[in-house]
Amino acid sequence: MRLVLIGAPGSGKGTQTKFLIEKYNIPQVSTGDLLRAAVAAQTPLGRQAKAVMDAGQLVPNDIVIGMIRERIMRPDAENGFIMDGFPRNLEQAEALDRLLANLGRPIDAVLQINVDFDLLMQRMVGRLTCLSCGTLFNSFTNPPSIDTQCDNCGGTLHHRSDDNEETINRRLRVYETHTQPLAAYYSNKGNLHVIDGQGTVEEIKKRIKSALRGMRSSRIKLQPVTQQPAAKAVNTRPEVIRTQVSDKQKPAPRQKKREAAATNPVVRKRSKRTVSAAQTAYRAQLKTLQNELKTVKSELRDVTRTEKLLAREVEKNEAALEKLTEKEASLK
């Protein structure tokens, strides 16, 4: 199973990735881990990436795609993989699709975990991580028994310095601008599954199971093009046996037509082809309408989130204006 997980920071992608790794026995492909490993091993791609990073620039997509190609060609990725941290924008998504198409291993499903931005803020501001075993807690939704101590191993709990409202709000805006359009892209391709990310870990896990139930990993067989010798034409028309029939026994013209229509395979094939073509056109039209509906729903969700963000900005501006008014009144 070849999967891509997309979702805002704090949406729970890491937790659900662990579940998918165990369920399908496939590796997690993290572009960050690939870059660090390639640089440490001083591979050709790693040396190129290090030179770019030392210059203070972002690693180009072609280098990252090259590393992804090397990773997914390893034996443990034969049954599939889960993309982590890639793609982040439309350009990367198109580059990844081209790579997988060339390898005959297209993406089977894209899971988008949707969580309300207010809940995301609460999750990340209250996030606590055990430095010893990596267990996650949350001071709001899943607090530890002792504020600074892990319930599992007794290790020290750490709160990241960048888990504050200002930084998180900026990260969420970056996600909306660059990564959110991926939903519309994959929706148009027909492999997007939107997962409600609110609720317990088990509830979200059940929704993912339901979305992937019955799905099988697809593979395109790529074969080299070779010139074949021209085959002799084979006469596929049914053999006609001619017999002499007396004038009295000759069938009437209408009877001849009925018999020909009943026994002629060519007539039957034409009718089947006509029906098949109509079914194909109807399915294509239905698929287009379904994709358009998914796109409209995605755009509606984007508009709703934008309205919420604007409402927050208005509230902040009103609060600031009130403070200025009070300050001005006190000065008078």
Cβ atoms of 38 and 49 within 8 Å: the answer is yes
List residues with catalytic annotation.
13, 88, 127, 160, 171
Please name which of 92, 112, 108, 125 lies closest in space to residue 12, comparing C-alpha atoms. Answer: 112
Q: CA-CA distance, 231 to 122, in Å (whole number)?
A: 70
Please name which of 182, 227, 202 lies closest in space to residue 5, comparing C-alpha atoms. Answer: 182
Q: CA-CA distance, 100 to 238, in Å (whole number)?
A: 45
Cβ atoms of 129 and 160 within 8 Å: the answer is yes
Give kind and range of the element (H or E) at residue 226.
none
Q: CA-CA distance, 307 to 302, in Å (whole number)?
A: 9
Q: CA-CA distance, 280 to 107, in Å (whole number)?
A: 23
Count of residues for the chain? 332
